A and B are shown apart, each in its own frame.
Chain A
Amino acid sequence: MTNYALEAEGLHTFYGKSHILHGVSLKVEEGKITTLLGRNGAGKSTTLRSLVGLTPAREGKVTIFGQDTTRRPPFAIAGLGVGFVPEGRKIFPNLTIEENLKVPADRPGYWTIDTVYELFPRLKERRNNKGRQLSGGEQEMLSIARALLLNPKLLILDEPSQGLAPLIVREVFNIVVRMRDQGMSVLLVEQNVRMSLEVADHAYVLNDGEIAFDGSATDLSEDEDRLQSLAGVSAEVWEI
């Protein structure tokens, strides 16, 4: 029997009057990487916002670790062990690295400020620098570190490789794989289709607020036509 860290069923999400998600259903299997792909504006970030409670779905149901979380506030969902690395990193620019790391709630576990410094020595070196002084790569590390401090069982990332140099993109993906190998469940939204499919076990493709593909990552990586249409505007990601 398969266990799911997260199950979403028939999500309809709105921003005011604009109807963005039209019945999105997806599952994240425990201990696996599930990737959610799609063109810009397809509704990937909106889906994640609905899952973590930032923009609750108006219809549908979200179940995380067996609990109905559809209407719960973000901090309660995080408290179940859901780490979120938001689009654009959302580092607190007025706080230093170390202060940024003191913001998340403590959930006991392996990850502490000391252990995330071991994972990202660069953050330790720059611990007294303000968020606004960091490079994109450092901000990404900090955003991941912040989410890890919750000691999540489920890690949700929204385009972590966005705007990063190829070498750092590689490093980010390595970390995601490492977390999976340590037993974490991962939901990964990416523009970098090829690398995501390389590391993912399961894949979804979102198109205009609807799920257009649901299958194994290997199947999708062999489906040339669909991949072409997915590449969309950002064809250069294929070169990485």
Chain B
Amino acid sequence: MTQLILFNIANGLIIGAFYALMAIGLSLIMSLSDVINFAHGGFLAIGAYIAYTLSPYIGFWGGLLVAPVLTAVLGIIVEKFLISRVYGRDPLYSLLLTFGLAFIFEDGTRMIWGAQSVPYSVPNWLMTPLSNEYFFITGYRLLMIALVALAVGGLFWMMNKTRLGLRIRAGTLDLETVSVLGVNVRVLRNLNFGIGIYLAGLAGVLAAGQLGLQPTIGASLIMPSFVAIIIGGLGSLLGTLLGGLLIGVASGITSVFLPSGTEAVMYVMMALVLLVRPQGLLGEEGRF
């Protein structure tokens, strides 16, 4: 029994880490651009497929390194030519645009790579369980946790120690004043979007090795990511990370005791948080 619970907690942490990576990117974009990026899951899928396509040539590690960067470049292009056009307009525009993009990405990946799930190969030694007793702990899972920690840590460092990060934080509260201080806010929003999409791409590559790769891989992660943002508190990096991990683990544990409630538990948690602490667990007035 303990083993089963541990197994599901581990699974929950892994899936929660995906939610967190997605959610942090979504939250960055929402805070600076006032756009809810429904295409985020599409970017995740594209990141995964890019890695899948490139890894025969540059290997697993090469794909892990290059695919998120290429995804970010795609994000930067999409922001510059499409998303930025709807800034400042009625939110309905960005909603329709990103919704449309989500469909385009999903069908696009289906057209190029097929609707069937494709095998994404991870080096064998990474997939071997580290011990018989804890068969669910593989090198790959440890690698994932390490990379997610590295990405979130790196982002945290950037937001606090670099001028780009400071400007993003300032801009989430008052973009007008950032602009008046001579900062090109078009470039700022563009780079910020790219950072968010980089995280989605990274989540995509990691998820492909763990969950298998099919065109809907991103769509299944997007709703929980929104829930993670709300539970953690919009604008709080650590809160969003915590929110993602929490709902992942909660789903994992629920699957042991009440399998039919696995999907619902995160929404119940969200409702509770909204009732008790509407700004989210770590949300406060000052963002990031």
Using CB atoms and an 8 Å cutoff, list the residues of chain A in contact with chain B.
52-54, 73-75, 78-79, 84, 86, 90, 92-95, 99-100, 102-105, 107, 130, 132, 146-147, 149-150
Contact = CB atoms under 8 A, between A and B. Distances in A.
Given A75-B185, A99-B166, A102-B166, A94 B179 contact: no
Sorting the interface of chain B by its residue count into under 10, 10 to 19, 20 to 34 or 35 or more gives 20 to 34
Interface stretch (B170-178, B193-201, B247-255): B170-178
Nearest to A152: B182
Contacts, number: 75
Contact of B182 (A99, A100, A105): A105
Interface in B121-178: 163, 166-167, 169-170, 173-174, 176-178
Contacts of B286: 93-94, 130, 132
B155 to A, nearest CB: 16
A49 to B, nearest CB: 9
Interface in B179-213: 179-186
Contacts of B288: 94
B181 A94 contact: no
Nearest to A93: B286
Main secondary structure of the interface of B (DSSP, over half): helix
A220 B179 CA distance: 35
Interface of B: 163, 166-167, 169-170, 173-174, 176-186, 285-288
A73 B188 CA distance: 14
B244 to A, nearest CB: 22
A99 B165 CA distance: 10
A146 B181 contact: yes
B181 A105 contact: yes
Given A90-B174, A95-B169, A73 B182 contact: no
